[in-house]
Amino acid sequence: MLKRIVLTLLCMLPSIVAHGADVQMGTVTLKLTLPAGQCDFDPSQAADKRIIDASTAAAPGNDMLEMSADCAELRDWRAGRRPLLEHMTQYQTLRTVRTAPFTTADASAACAQMRAKGDQVNADLLPSIKENVSKAMKDVQLQGQTFLGVAGEDSNGCYVTFLQKFKAETGKNITQLNMFFMGSIKDRLLYVYLITPYVDDSTLGQLLALQKANTAALKAANGL
């Protein structure tokens, strides 16, 4: 099962934190949280539904549990004043194991495999990830992405990073950083993606801090 989880991941992509949706995963109910300043997508809004459908189609083996974006961006997006959403969060799980136990030991083993994929062997992972970002900025072609490695870990999982370059519908060339927490929450597998534009070397550290803050809030909301 771990190999399937890792391969699926490789083929995809301290603040006040808001409460998101409650989702059922077998006999377990998870309370999801949203990063500070983000609001839920609303499938009844045509603009939101277009993003939800596209994101869901991009990960056919996963269940999309929750999507959110920066509240101001989302407001302007719905009103037609913004052509792109730049700061988003997605909660997903692997559909085939949604109702199955996924323990912290399973998460640790999966993270070890992810870390090996990125050749990350040091205790302090962030500097080498930054080096990978600098290299990827030069090497990754438009419409491409690269796996940067594991940027950090905690007792429930790890933080995995990708860099992606693509041309948006508007014709604008986008470079974005995609970091997700992959781990065990109440013995269920959860992927929490945070997506943001890549600005400079500070983007990675800022995104990791935001991801850790949201993960801490997620654990607290679920009694961990």
What pLDDT is attached to residue 9?
44
Regions of the chain short of the pLDDT cut 50: 2-17, 120-126, 129, 133, 136-142
pLDDT at residue 11, as a whole number:
43
Give this prediction's pTM.
0.81
| Residue 160, number of CB atoms within 10 A of its CB | 29
- Using alpha carbons, select from 48, 85, 104, 117 the residue that is nearest to residue 194: 85
Residue 18: the pLDDT is 56
Give pLDDT tens digits for 108-128: 999 998 888 765 433 344 455
pLDDT of residue 30: 96
